Amino acid sequence: MTDVSQESCSFCYRLRAYLTVAGFLIAGIYLQPDWALRLANHMPTAMTVGIGICLGAVGIFSIKLRDHIREKDGDQAA
């Protein structure tokens, strides 16, 4: 068995904070108090979020592909 360190990385701390905030927001929207309803009115639609995720993924893929092609061209030149 591998020895797993008890120390958490910074990503784990950020993920825990995100999930905590998300949990409170989900519970608030489920219980529907006034503050949650006002907050929900300012949130983007599901379609907007979906399009943003798709565009972000395409952008990140494009950057990674460009870097990969540049690295491959650099290896061939040497």
**What spatial distance separates the first Cα and last Cα of the chain, rounded to whole Å?**
43
Predicted TM-score of the model (pTM): 0.48
Decide: 39 and 24 in contact? Cβ < 8 Å: no
Range of the domain at 74: 44-78
Shared-domain flag, residues 54 and 71? yes
| pLDDT attached to residue 27 | 87
Token pair for 42: 């300012």
Shared-domain flag, residues 50 and 34? no
Shared-domain flag, residues 37 and 21? yes
Shared-domain flag, residues 70 and 37? no
3-state SS assignment for residue 5? coil
Q: Is the pLDDT of residue 2 over 60?
A: no
